[in-house]
Structure 1
């Protein structure tokens, strides 16, 4: 496919997304119907679509509307691309720009310029203070690719060397002793021996730093209460000899965890909700709670535009409930860790205050916010100690 044909494909996919289709579904459907497209074509089109989603409001302002065509015009204009060279109407290229289209757009202002939903902008500013604009600007661009070195089977130097055999260049990142930032050939990772043998796992550097901040016992029992795919389960298990348990309200989210654990040479016990009390109490319970995802909008930008006040209210209520449900599972003198991939105060410090108010005797040991200014995603962690 030509560069212009890729842009037209992105326009068509964006039209489906603006009509309500989830981005991943729209991309998958297009790929199934476009057997002629090679892997490089699909990757380039995906990049176009996600670049627009990260900058959707500014693209709409510059491009004149929020249609797929308007959004791509806005994206390319902001990137300084010569539109007339691509919008030619030849072959599978987009139709030429009309005189009207050339005059539609305007410079974005305020929340639009930072690509933060207008309704959320006051809370964003309140939560991040002087860093609000800079964090928003970072979220408009693609996130780095990070790996976690599995210390059960390797070390940083060996992992870097193994990756280099496949032309994958990775360098240590200061956020965590186990973190590597991939600077070249990131798309080769999942086919590399380092990944296939469990020497490294894909995991954001701030996510790794969050695990580093946990009071992991050398022995005993550790529960990942909201395990999801199990990334933090495996990261914790690589740093302790404690018995590791994983639970999720939706067990299907953990379906790949047993294979990932075997690959990493780590033992993890999968628990259903009805089994938790019988397996506990636990020396450490981690609640990596569902959240707005506002700290990781570089990776999942669609969530930025789908979030509403009602959804945010629902998720904060769920977070509080998760903490209440998990607290009885902690052993006396044990720790309860609460984490989100959010930078919003209502999901972070406000939840800490509410938990302490409702649980006399518990104390707060650690509270830390990681923002994208540190290089990784935005994450929050707080550690409570049970009396």
Structure 2
């Protein structure tokens, strides 16, 4: 496919996404229906689509949609064409080289499309690609750093790997990745973190990954595990385990007995093969099988994901205040459910990939009010300015 044909395809896909479809599903369907598109074509189209979702409001503004993000937002949702016009304008691309009469190219620009506003004229939330109602939530926590943090979410997030210290050192892992032409550098957020600088799309096929030397995991997520008071012989419960990424990271830190649990057991289906690849043992369990006296319980709770919207940009535009309220209620419920699972003197860990106080420090304060038998040992907020995704962690101790 030519570069302009890729842009035409991105316009088609974005039209469906703006109509309410999930981006991943539309991209998958498009690829199945266009077998002639090679892997490089699909990767380029995917990049166009996700870049547009990260910068939805600013691209919509530059494309003539006035910063709208959905139907009813003072007009119809932006079209794929408007978003790609905005994307190209943001890089000072000559639009005439793309929108022309060439075969497979999008149609030439109209008179109106030749006279569009500059981004400097847009409101702050539009320039930062943030919903109006969410911007104050960032400002309340980040203050003067808000604009810089939101600028990070406008760019593609780095690809990070966690080196499995049971199998390799950092240098050995870098050498193993190099066999498959993957280059990676160390990162200060975690002593086991590598940031991939070349060959990221080859990681999942590399021998280093297939043999468990490295695992895909954000550096911020790794830093959360580094903060935990883990020691050999501990019984640990990963209470909202999902695919088991944090269970695997904990298993690499100490000789632990780890149980993974998730309210949806289907989410844990990859834990067994991942653990086998990593050379560790992780038991999965349903609610009725959980014990009552774990040394450490980790609650990586469902959240807004506001610290990781560079990776999942569509979630930013789908979040509503009612959904955020539901999430905070669920987070409190999960914490309360975890209390009897922690032994006297043990640790309860609460983590989110959110930057909002309502999901982090406010939750901690409310939990301590409800459960005075716990004390806060430490908490930490990691932002994208630290180099990875945004995360929050709080470690409580259950008093004897």
- Report which stretch shifted further, 86-95 or 303-312: 86-95
Contact 1:166 1:192 (8 Å CA) reproduced: yes
**5+ residue gaps, structure 2:** 66-77
Match of 1:265? 279
Counterpart of 1:320 (choices 320, 324, 332) is: 332
1:353 maps to 2:389: no
1:329 maps to 2:341: yes
1:22 maps to 2:22: yes
Contact 1:217 1:283 (8 Å CA) reproduced: no
1:183 maps to 2:197: yes
Counterpart of 1:385 (choices 387, 390, 397) is: 397
Following TM superposition, by how much is the alpha carbon of 1:170 offset from its aligned partner in structure 2, in angstroms? 0.7
Secondary structure of the residue aligned to 1:32 is helix
- Report which stretch shifted further, 217-226 or 347-356: 217-226
How far apart in 1 are the matches of 2:379 and 2:372? 18
Match of 1:101? 113
Counterpart of 1:124 (choices 125, 133, 138) is: 138
Secondary structure of the residue aligned to 2:385 is helix
How far apart in 1 are the matches of 2:215 and 2:365? 34
Match of 2:186? 172
1:81 maps to 2:93: yes
How far apart in 1 are the matches of 2:141 and 2:28? 36
Contact 1:205 1:377 (8 Å CA) reproduced: yes
How far apart in 1 are the matches of 2:349 and 2:299? 6
How far apart in 1 are the matches of 2:28 and 2:269? 21
Contact 2:292 2:340 (8 Å CA) reproduced: no
User: For the aligned residues, what is the CA RMSD?
Assistant: 0.8
Within a 5 Å distance, the mapping from 1:123-162 to structure 2 comes to: 123-162=137-176
How many residue pairs get aligned? The number is 385
Following TM superposition, by how much is the alpha carbon of 1:106 offset from its aligned partner in structure 2, in angstroms? 4.2
1:34 maps to 2:34: yes
Match of 1:59? 59
Match of 1:2? 2
How far apart in 2 are the matches of 1:120 and 1:102? 32
1:362 maps to 2:374: yes
How far apart in 2 are the matches of 1:152 and 1:4? 47
How far apart in 2 are the matches of 1:194 and 1:326? 36
Secondary structure of the residue aligned to 1:335 is strand
Match of 1:374? 386
How far apart in 2 are the matches of 1:135 and 1:316? 23
Following TM superposition, by how much is the alpha carbon of 1:217 offset from its aligned partner in structure 2, in angstroms? 2.7
Following TM superposition, by how much is the alpha carbon of 1:324 offset from its aligned partner in structure 2, in angstroms? 0.3
Contact 1:217 1:284 (8 Å CA) reproduced: no
Contact 1:285 1:335 (8 Å CA) reproduced: yes
How far apart in 2 are the matches of 1:221 and 1:361? 21
Match of 1:214? 228
CA deviations on 1:321-360 (whole Å, 9 max, x unpaired) are 0000011100110000000001111100000000000001
CA deviations on 1:31-88 (whole Å, 9 max, x unpaired) are 1111110000000000000000000001111101211100110111011111100111
CA deviations on 1:287-324 (whole Å, 9 max, x unpaired) are 00000000001100011100110111111110010000
Match of 1:44? 44
Following TM superposition, by how much is the alpha carbon of 1:7 offset from its aligned partner in structure 2, in angstroms? 0.3
Match of 1:243? 257
How far apart in 1 are the matches of 2:394 and 2:325? 20
